[in-house]
Structure 1
């Protein structure tokens, strides 16, 4: 489906949804406006979507449950400007407005938080795909450097709320089975007490995999709680995750179209895998100091180990992260001010061993890496009038690296220049149902250790952080009865020193700066609910985003790529969905569209557009105090052969073809049951 067809479809959808409300306006609300707030990560709060001076999108708990019990890519890809490519269950990449598309195998250039715990490590990599759905209440995404509270990443921030409401002591258990020997189970227990609540969750995911060498096992357990201590609120969270996943890697065009179920030859021959363990612990104290001041203090630590077998070496990695985050909040009538800091220190030991016959088991390299950063932030909201909100933010960052190469005897350390990132936003209430907003801000991303480290182990002191400016302007409509919502946004990003990956061989790669790039786009989303009677209604939703992302100035090895399109970013994305609810039965249908995208900087090779259709049917029953949900779903109903993830600028060594493609699953099904007591 081309852009014109999608545009016509969405325009028709918008005209059907748009129903101006003629209800009488309550003038008392104009005398003293009450600010609606949404708790995204207790006790951190941000203004509601309607009043936020910037681009903010969210996924509620019901939407999270619209697919199977373990994949978030379908839900995230429903959001305009957000793209999650899922190569395997353990390999994914999230980009926001094209930022982060250059990272080969993971999500970079964005920040992610689970409550007040940063899920982004010192290397800038964020992993959210291995959090159990029963540990997620909702997800909110701030696009661009939208809030100094969470750093100043140009891509944006993913905020995952682990705290879901609990009105009583309860137990819930679920089991799901699907194609290719996939089994998932979840357990949630809630203990409600007078002064607090304790949650215990556990889940497992086991799959034989569609492709060869793609077996997958993951186990999670989480203990978390909130308790009142006088005027204080104590909250804690402990999570342990164990992962054992084989790696099929990407395929060349011949294998992708003819044998998509096979693993890459080199990875299959060595039975490549990754085995990892991660433990997260966090404890926080929120205190009401007086009627105007409150403070929240969080201490957190992350311990992780990784054993990864690749065709070129075996990686043995251990990592310890400790951090502190504090925020002081002031509220008085029309002024809201937050000041704070976040400090993280990460100590990482990386060992590489040989796997080829001539160096089997030999220690090739050992590095002790220490990464640390400090973010000092401030955010001010002022109600200029009953209709106008102004927001000003400031983030100050200091980042440093230390590296000791134990084998080659090379020591290097580097501190990037301190970075000051301002932001300014406004939100104006046009009518009781509509708002205009505009925002501009500065963002940056420091190079990862892999990008900053040369093949000989030395530190590339000439590499610079990528930085730039982000501007967006938009319109938000929300009907008085909240049955119709619409958002329209224009954005522009100017990026300097874009970080791109330079490969010398399959195992040796590093980063270089790529001059200047520009990202321009438009985003549209519409939701509307039709009520047929007291027993049934239908929810309709549509989103559309179109972007132009180009190198403004980039020359590599004498080749000028200026004005070429950046690869790895679809020309457009769109989705149309409908949820029909009749009494206790719900039918969800979702159709997603992805435009063509280039695979190389030269734009000599591209991947065509495609669409994917999914559906899910569920039914609720109640017998006494036991509530049960049965569900059945089918993904990729049209059995489309497509790549669920693309590796841009894939290297080609020897006579081998470049491996650009991660094959998606063909038509597949899943079904399950959830029991709540």
Structure 2
């Protein structure tokens, strides 16, 4: 009966999409007929003030977006060194990026994803129109080169049916730099701990569009033992105008060779923070990987009101990771399609489409101890496939009121074949419908009220859904929950003052937490119900002294209460305890001073106390970090560019840049909670453009 109900559920959703698509085509044909005989000057333009992120992806402007949104422009991205995004992301209220090493990080949005030990989960990320989130929800944005990022927008909460229904939110990375002429840009940087970063970007402008190539190479000895790092990226990208069509492609190759120092216990953290964990240092643990991404897309105008965006993409990844307990050999291949059909008229815009991906994953584990060194311990072939059907309707009810409704349908399935035993298991997660409703009302021409409510979910990752023996744990359920936020935005007429205040509440069921039996044995379990409540505030003001002398002040604050509502583990009741790994508050103050050809940037970041375990018996104290950068524009002959010098952790504070919550303790060894941040360190570079 349940199987039949699920099939009926899926077929209903497919019918909904077909009906919506048919409606769009019908409306388009009628519109073209009527437009042929109409005076187009009498057609009221859509008052949604659309902002283009890249050719095929559009959303409402930040002022009109019916939900919480933050924007990181190209100037903010380059406010620090040329390869770390954590400083910039941590300036955004509600967003936290912990950086344990150059190859170890975790991004959380409003506390969602804090339970994932070593990577980012529960959020969805797109690079252009390519989903760079794996089929099991794991996202890696830290190894995208800065010259492949024009800007970043973050939609917090399950806030847009267009991009699935991830619980934490969506990270939209725009790879398309605005090119008006043929140019060549080179950036060379050096810094503490033997760090060298070199970047090169070339753009060719022609009458049909633009073609570009970017490359960057990063090497570092690292602050800690066993933390050597090397990464190489190269990207080819182009956009061509073909009548009413725009053809674009993106190709990226990334090579990574990085050692792993891992986390430390409290004794080493405070007394020898530069050392690596003993077990990882003894085996010289590392990860070596290669990744290729290819996207080919076509955006088409199909009349005055109808447009379509079609994207085909493929991703291949190879990983060799040596750990104290085993050696991982993983190969991953994914192919997918994303299509979006939009009908737009004077009062509304209707979008319908689908995103589907098939991912094939081969995981081999080898022994590393003297008794089983090189021995194949297990081999599993895993296939993950999902399909998202989505629809989004923006209605310009009046000149001041915008209503947005959305619906996302998801179907996700796994197949796991154990090559050593020949056993095969198949699992279909329950089909999920995720609705969304958003409202934006313009109080005045400078201020807006907004509110949003929506449903989100996240399926378990491979590590969470796989038992230590390699079998698939079908009893682990996807996380799901509801999200509500209400807020106020202000932007002055002269655009020199901006402010944003948001209050949110999230209710989650089946929260996935990591169950650890040893350093090498861990898996996911569901943790009942949790609640997330918070306040986010940001303010921005530009003080214009004269045409060559300006100061920009920015401040953000976010405070939250995140609790287990109902969670019992091994007979211990953790209900009403605070979720670990989430600071009580984060705050940020920054100042940018421009004096003719020179620019000075300072930012001061504050992180509140956070718990290290579910019982709340262990805490990590609050801390702060001060960073600064000065740059000077130069002009030599036909070349232009800049020189810059930056210092991170100016006050030389000792703190943990990432925490491993619920770290296990076995035998006489204390738990290893801490990833130590580097002490005061510097970087300097030069940018040349012609």
* Residue among 496, 503, 512 paired with 2:525: 512
In the TM superposition, what are the counterparts of 1:328-407 in structure 2 within 5 Å? 328-407=341-420
Partner of 1:669: 682
In 2, distance between residues paired with 1:463 and 1:160? 31
* Matched residue count: 647
Tell me the alpha carbon deviations over residues 322-371 of structure 1, each in whole angstroms, 9 at most, x when there is no partner.
Answer: 00000001100010111000000000100000000110000000000000
Q: Is the 8 A contact 2:229 2:259 kept in 1?
A: yes
1:449 is displaced (CA, Å) by 2.1
Partner of 2:14: none
Question: How do 1:431-450 and structure 2 match up within 5 A?
Answer: 431-450=444-463
Q: Which residue of 1 aligns with 2:145?
A: 132
Q: Which residue of 2 aligns with 1:22?
A: none
Partner of residue 558, structure 2: 545
Determine whether 1:174 maps to 2:187. Answer: yes
* 1:106 corresponds to 2:140: no
> Contact 2:533–2:561 (CA<8 Å) still a contact in 1?
yes
8 Å Cα contact 2:45/2:346 also seen in 1 = no
Work out whether 1:607 is the aligned partner of 2:624.
no
* Equivalent position of 1:13 in the other structure: none
Question: Aligned partners of 2:577, 2:118: CA distance in 1, in Å?
Answer: 23
8 Å CA contact 1:527–1:542 kept in 2: the answer is yes
Aligned pair partner of 1:522 in 512, 521, 535: 535
Query: Could you tell me which residue of structure 2 aligns to residue 239 of structure 1?
Result: 252
Q: Secondary structure at the residue paired with 2:176?
A: coil
Show the counterpart of 1:37.
Answer: 50
Structure 2 distance, partners of 1:582, 1:77, is 26
Given that residues 237 and 283 in structure 1 are in contact (C-alpha distance below 8 angstroms), is that contact kept between their aligned partners in structure 2?
yes
Partner of 1:283, secondary structure, is: strand
For residues 377-526 of structure 1, the aligned pairs below 5 Å read 377-526=390-539
SS at match of 2:87: helix
Separation in 1, partners of 2:307, 2:556: 38
> CA separation in 2, counterparts of 1:42 and 1:443?
27
Q: Aligned equivalents of 1:587 and 1:194: distance in 2?
A: 38
SS at structure 2 position matched to 1:593: strand
Partner SS for 2:342: strand
Cα displacement (A) at 1:506: 1.4
Provide, for residues 42-76 of structure 1, a one-character-per-residue CA deviation record: whole Å limited to 9, x for no partner.
Answer: 22100000000000001000000100000000000
Q: Are residue 657 (structure 1) and residue 665 (structure 2) matched? A: no
Match of 2:221 among 205, 208, 217: 208
Deviations 1:75-131 (A, max 9, x none): 000000000000000000000000000000000000000000001001210000000
Q: Tell me which residue corresponds to 2:20.
A: none
**Conservation of the 8 A alpha-carbon contact between 1:501 and 1:512:** yes
Q: What is the CA deviation profile of residues 19-42 of structure 1, one whole-angstrom value per residue up to 9, with x for unaligned ones?
A: xxxxxxxxxxxx978432221232
> Equivalents in 2 of 1:410, 1:32: separation in Å?
60
Picking from 285, 288, 292, the partner of 1:279 is 292
CA distance in 1 between counterparts of 2:287 and 2:468 reads: 23
Q: Are the equivalent residues in 1 in contact too, given 2:657–2:677 (CA < 8 A)?
A: yes
Deviation readout 1:239-273 (Å, 9 max, x if unpaired) = 00000000000000000000000000000000000
Greater CA drift, 506-515 or 585-594: 506-515
Contact (CA 8 Å) 1:506, 1:651: kept in 2 or not?
Answer: yes
What secondary structure does 2:76 align onto?
helix
Q: Distance in 1 between matches of 2:499 and 2:354?
A: 35
Contact 2:47–2:399 (8 Å) recurs in 1: no
Question: C-alpha separation between the residues in 2 aligned to 1:451 and 1:194?
Answer: 51
Partner of 1:569: 582
* TM-score, L = length of structure 2: 0.93
- Aligned-partner Cα distance in 1 for 2:140–2:70: 19
TM-score by length of 1: 0.95
Write the distance in 2 (CA, Å) between the matches of 1:584 and 1:53. Answer: 39
What is the alpha-carbon distance in structure 2 between the residues aligned to residue 455 and residue 200 of structure 1?
Answer: 43
Q: Could you report, residue by residue, the CA deviation over 1:196-230 in whole angstroms, capped at 9, with x for unpaired residues?
A: 10010000110000000000000000000000112
The residue number in structure 1 matching 2:637 is 624
Q: Distance in 1 between matches of 2:47 and 2:564?
A: 45
Aligned partners of 2:527 and 2:566 also within 8 Å? yes
Q: Partners in 2 of 1:558 and 1:35 — Cα distance?
A: 54
- Secondary structure of the 2:687 match is strand
SS at match of 1:75: helix
Shifted more, 292-301 versus 447-456: the winner is 447-456
Which whole-Å CA distance do the structure 2 matches of 1:180 and 1:123 have between them? 35
Cα distance in 1, alignment partners of residues 46 and 566 from structure 2: 48
> Does the 8 A contact of 1:33 with 1:386 survive in 2?
no
Structure 2: segments with no counterpart, 5+ residues:
1-43
Distance 2:47 2:345 in 1: 13
C-alpha distance in 2, partners of 1:142/1:549? 20
Q: Structure 2 CA distance, aligned partners of 1:152 and 1:443?
A: 5
1:232 & 1:491 partners in 2: Cα distance? 41
Distance 1:653 1:538 in 2: 53
Matched, 1:313 2:326: yes
Q: How far, CA to CA, are the matches of 2:536 and 2:71 in structure 1?
A: 15
Counterpart of 1:532 in 2: which secondary structure?
strand
Output one character per residue of 1:490-517: Cα deviation in whole Å (capped at 9) or x when no partner.
0000000000011122111111100000
Tell me, in whole angstroms, the C-alpha distance in 2 between the residues paired with 1:40 and 1:231: 19
Q: Identify the residue that residue 242 of structure 2 maps to in structure 1.
A: 229
2:80 is paired with a residue whose SS is: coil
1:461 positional shift = 1.9
Q: Which moved more, 1:569-578 or 1:651-660?
A: 651-660
Quick one: structure 1 residues 325 and 33, their matched pair in 2 at CA, closer, same or farther if it must change by over 3 Å? closer
CA–CA distance in 1 between the matches of 2:614 and 2:574?
Answer: 7
**What's 2:156 paired with?**
143
Residue in 2 that maps onto 1:16: none
Q: Give distance in 1, aligned partners of 2:512 and 2:270.
A: 31
Q: Kindly provide the CA deviation profile for residues 281-304 of structure 1, in whole angstroms up to 9, marking residues without a partner as x.
A: 000000000001000000000011
Q: In the alignment, what sits opposite 1:63?
A: 76
2:75 paired with 1:77: no
1:24 aligned residue: none
- Please state whether the residue corresponding to 1:459 is helix, strand or coil: coil
Cα distance in 1 for partners of 2:298, 2:524 equals: 40
Cα distance in 1 between the residues matched to 2:103 and 2:469: 29
Contact 1:41 1:160 in 2 (8 A): no
**Which residue number corresponds to residue 295 of structure 1?**
308
Partner of 1:588: 601
